[in-house]
Amino acid sequence: MFWLMCTFVFLVMFVSIRQLWPLSNIKYINEQDFKRLQVKFRVYKVVDLRDASEFYSNPRSGTINISLGRLPYVWKKHLDPEEHVFILSQGLFKTKKAARILRKQGFSCLYVVEMIK
């Protein structure tokens, strides 16, 4: 019983630390850098991870709204691994999770835009 409990505690700690661990090949940028890079890159996509109700209450032009739960299933319809992808979200957990999902699919040019609330 002791080993089972220790294993469970270790597993919970591992999952928690993994969520907070920094991701490689991800660039965190602010809104000014985002505007500058939009001019620099000709082909790029902007993914807004907010829920549909939040997105439609305050839409941003030129963004694709894909909620985090749908991202693993619908990314092929809107995104290409060769393009630069900007991720918009207000939560650190959501951006890291989305970056992990896209990186696993072969995306290498990922940018997380730190949105001002």
| pLDDT < 50 stretches in the chain | none
Q: What is the pLDDT of residues 59-83, one digit of tens each?
A: 888 889 998 889 999 899 999 898 9
Residue type, 36: R
Determine the structural domain holding residue 32 and report its residue range.
24-114
pTM: 0.78
DSSP 84: E
Domain count for the chain, please give it. 1
Residue 85 within any structural domain of the chain: yes
**Residue 8 located in a structural domain:** no
Residue 106 counted as domain residue: yes
